[in-house]
Structure 1
Amino acid sequence: MSRLGSIGAKLYNGEIGYDFVAKRKFWYGVSILITITAIVGLAVSGLNMGIEFKGGAVFNTPKTSISAPQAQEYAEEASGHPAIVQKLGNDTLRIQVSELDTAQATEVKNKLAKDLNMPAAQLDAELVGPSWGAQIANKAWTGLGIFMVLVVVYLAIAFEWRMAVAALIALIHDLTITVGVYALVGFEVTPGTVIGLLTILGYSLYDTVVVFDGLKEGSAGITKQTRFTYSEIANRSLNATLVRSINTTIVALLPVAGLLFIGGGFLGAGMLNDISLSLFVGLAAGAYSSIFIATPLVADLKERDPQMKALKKRVLAKRAAAAARGESPEDDGPEQRYSAEDDADDDGPVPGAVATAGAPVVTAPRGGRGRGRSSERRR
């Protein structure tokens, strides 16, 4: 078994683990700081909307030796508006000029063809109206709203409302960060960007739902024991899927990083930047939120429940009593399933509970009510 596989097995069995839930306030602070930075960047810089949303004209040149910066200068002089120029693989240029109507586009085309020293007939021009981009944006917002509602309903039915709320907050967190990065970096927002934003929603939920499923199973019958709190079980569920989450995120990020840094950056295929940046940032933010935001939020919300508050008091009281006697929680004997009779003397463990500070390492449940108990317990 590889070293990473060995670490994953130990995390799953509760032999080692990082207490994400106990340190949640620190990670909440980090998330709030990142989110505020993204919002400030969005408010100050705004989004660099593409021509599809603002309207304008796109000019495609034949093969030319003129550089992209020189063509950009010519386009801005001819139009009086900012221009975006991309050099394509066959030495042709794609020139975008926003906020042009039909008459202006024709005039700019003639001036630009003269500056580029080519016949105007060879300069292909396309006029893009802003209404098309507005339709895309409206449909994207509609799709996003429907998606959010369906997610909340599904999680509330399949799990519980607290998990639905935590997942929704994590999704909003991921979208805010991704949009904020676009504002700070200044990349153009195109329909490809919208597609990327909608795509990352599923990735953002994937790891979160896996952890929630383990948490639901591990917390079944939790109030029938006094060895572990809800937060400790939540932490174990998170640690059990940690290596899996990291591996799947890295595998997903590698091809996207290739598109962004090699295709868009090194090779200069700027059209790849719009979708690849949203995917890259969204995937990274989704993995972060599923580990540091969603599950700790569920634990926070759940610990407000009166039953969980009472359970936590019983757990802490029992540990304090055991510490006063110089005993450890393991002295109560091996793990067993919950039963109503076991509630008083706490023979039952939490399935999948995590070893945390002051708590024992969890082993697999064993059958037999009296088997393995100390003679003092049997008396």
Structure 2
Amino acid sequence: MRLKLVPDGTKIDFMRVSRIGVIASITAVIASIALFFAMGLNFGIDFRGGTMIEARTPQAADLGIIRQATGELGLGDVAVQEFGDPRDVLIRVETQPGDGDDQMAVVGLVQEAVSAAIPDTEFRRVEVVGPKVSGELVVEGALAIGLAVFAVLVYIWLRFEWQFSLGAVIALVHDVALTIGVFSLVQLEFNLSIIAALLTIVGYSLNDTVVVFDRVRENLRRYKQMPLIDLLNLSINETLSRTLMTSLTTLIALIALYVFGGEVIRGFTFAMIWGIVVGTYSSVFIAAATLLRLGVKRDWSTEDKPGAGPSGTNFSGAQV
């Protein structure tokens, strides 16, 4: 028996509530911008610069002892957290004055202090990022996201019409803004892996939007006299099964990674889960709603097919 998330022939009137969705999204984007300026992002060492030391203790780590041992070194902001196995500890130290040799000297001090407090501690990984490099990473990360959105604008414009392109880009900006907003709210660490997640979200959201837009373009040729609002509803309903199945299967894998993948990739998987949800939402309530308000070209060269007409007529479009 084939699993069906959506029954055949659904006629959900998405566009009827699109105004509510657009208002809610505008409010959420404004709130995200306010959160970003009010609370900022919890930048990781990739962007702030500093030293990260991954250690494994012989038994379940006593974070209090490690915090006390590293706090006595006078190194400023030192964060100690458990991740993954109870024996695994991540120690983050803010950038110290001096050059790379001074940063490596800090590593030695931390390792000595932790080893003295908890003998037989194993140091498994050390990362040192200078302030100059971290500043360049911030700029390059923002540039990468901007170039990705611009490339989407050009691609959709060439493949469809400018109205489609604008709808897709507005949906992408919406998704990225809400993701940054939620990271400001929950204060999860924002590092290079989150930039990778944002770029992945851009690709996923674009793919979802293009599937809907492709069906809209097909139906514009098939039903030249059908009102645009009915045609958009028809196209979304025809692709709804594919959209939900793709999102659900992706979310199952991501939730498993979030629960069992450990602290190192938790921020990445959280961003991806959030991005899949808002990306699926924006394909319908942002991209399609923008298309409805901008209108589209209707002078297609193919002929009308029987059954074309306004709401309430027989929609005989292609099925997914």
Report the TM-score, using the length of structure 2 for normalisation.
0.84
Question: Which of 268, 272, 283 in structure 2 is aligned with 1:290?
Answer: 283
Tell me what 1:238 maps to.
236
C-alpha distance in 1, partners of 2:292/2:227?
10
Question: Which of 42, 46, 52 in structure 1 is aligned with 2:40?
Answer: 46
Cα displacement string for residues 85-127 of structure 1 (whole angstroms, at most 9, x for unaligned residues) = 3345382433111222454763685367346526899767653
How far the C-alpha of 1:163 sits from its partner, in A, is 0.5
SS in 1 for 2:23: helix
C-alpha distance in 1, partners of 2:205/2:178?
12
C-alpha distance in 1, partners of 2:43/2:105?
23
How far the C-alpha of 1:272 sits from its partner, in A, is 1.5
How far the C-alpha of 1:362 sits from its partner, in A, is 2.4
Tell me what 2:87 maps to.
91
Q: Which range moved further: 117-126 or 199-208?
A: 117-126
Tell me what 1:34 maps to.
28
Tell me what 1:67 maps to.
62
1:8 and 1:242 in contact (8 A); partners too? no
Distance change >3 Å, CA 153–CA 88, structure 1 → 2? closer
SS in 1 for 2:53: strand
1:68 and 1:85 in contact (8 A); partners too? yes
Amino acid at match of 1:294: A
Distance change >3 Å, CA 256–CA 87, structure 1 → 2? closer
2:167 and 2:291 in contact (8 A); partners too? yes
Tell me what 2:160 maps to.
159
Tell me what 2:263 maps to.
270
SS in 2 for 1:142: helix
Report the TM-score, using the length of structure 1 for normalisation.
0.72
How far the C-alpha of 1:134 sits from its partner, in A, is 2.9
C-alpha distance in 1, partners of 2:250/2:106?
46
Cα displacement string for residues 35-94 of structure 1 (whole angstroms, at most 9, x for unaligned residues) = 233222222211000012111122344534442344234434432314143345382433
Tell me what 2:188 maps to.
187
SS in 2 for 1:270: coil
2:76 and 2:94 in contact (8 A); partners too? no
Tell me what 1:317 maps to.
none
How far the C-alpha of 1:140 sits from its partner, in A, is 2.6
Cα displacement string for residues 329-348 of structure 1 (whole angstroms, at most 9, x for unaligned residues) = xxxxxxxx846xxxxxxx85
SS in 1 for 2:264: helix
Tell me what 2:313 maps to.
360
Distance change >3 Å, CA 126–CA 4, structure 1 → 2? closer
C-alpha distance in 2, partners of 1:208/1:120?
54
Q: Which range moved further: 275-284 or 94-103?
A: 94-103
How far the C-alpha of 1:234 sits from its partner, in A, is 1.1
2:51 and 2:129 in contact (8 A); partners too? yes
Tell me what 2:171 maps to.
170
| Larger Cα-atom Rg | 1
SS in 2 for 1:8: coil
SS in 2 for 1:93: strand
SS in 2 for 1:183: helix
Aligned length: 309
C-alpha distance in 2, partners of 1:93/1:242?
44
SS in 1 for 2:9: helix
Mapping 1:222-233, distance limit 5 Å? 225=225, 228-233=226-231
The percentage of counterpart residues that share the same residue type is 27
Whether 2:14 is the aligned partner of 1:23: answer no
Distance change >3 Å, CA 87–CA 270, structure 1 → 2? closer
How far the C-alpha of 1:3 sits from its partner, in A, is 7.4
SS in 2 for 1:219: helix
C-alpha distance in 1, partners of 2:2/2:127?
56
How far the C-alpha of 1:129 sits from its partner, in A, is 0.9
SS in 2 for 1:138: helix
1:59 and 1:126 in contact (8 A); partners too? yes
Cα displacement string for residues 239-260 of structure 1 (whole angstroms, at most 9, x for unaligned residues) = 1111211110010111111122
Cα displacement string for residues 201-228 of structure 1 (whole angstroms, at most 9, x for unaligned residues) = 11111121011011111112755x3xx3
C-alpha distance in 2, partners of 1:176/1:72?
35
Distance change >3 Å, CA 77–CA 189, structure 1 → 2? farther
C-alpha distance in 1, partners of 2:199/2:185?
20
